[in-house]
Amino acid sequence: MINLEKVAIDKVTRDENNKVREELSDFCFDSPLSLHKELSHETKEVERGSFKLKLQKLVNNRTMLSEICRSNIGIVERQLEVPGLSYASHVLLMHQVMNFSFPLGILVAN
């Protein structure tokens, strides 16, 4: 079993004074994990010798892809609202918004 721990290994969870911000840590770990748990999954068990693995695959349609992108943009936008966010973190988060916005443009065009 893998235990998820909140570990600030990245400057994204730190403010301009290089202090770890709990709300930024939550946005980096808890919010994406919650979103992932809400998505539909297909589970398959694989056995190799004495090992048994449970594999999960996301199962969603094109409409759901746009909803996933919008949800991720919402998470990032909430991060951008945290006071004291460093300039480097702000630039990185804006880049993430652009990356999640790109598939939305493709879906609208099709």
Predicted pLDDT of residue 47? 92
Q: Are 68 and 60 in contact (CB under 8 A)?
A: yes
Contact 13, 20 (CB under 8 A): yes
CB 21 within 8 A of CB 13: yes
pLDDT in tens, 17-48: 888 888 887 777 777 778 778 888 888 999 98
Which pLDDT score is estimated for 103? 61
pLDDT tens sequence across 79-97: 888 888 888 778 878 887 8
Hey, is 58 helix, strand or coil?
strand
Measured distance CA(3)–CA(33) in Å, rounded: 13
* pTM to 2 decimal places: 0.59
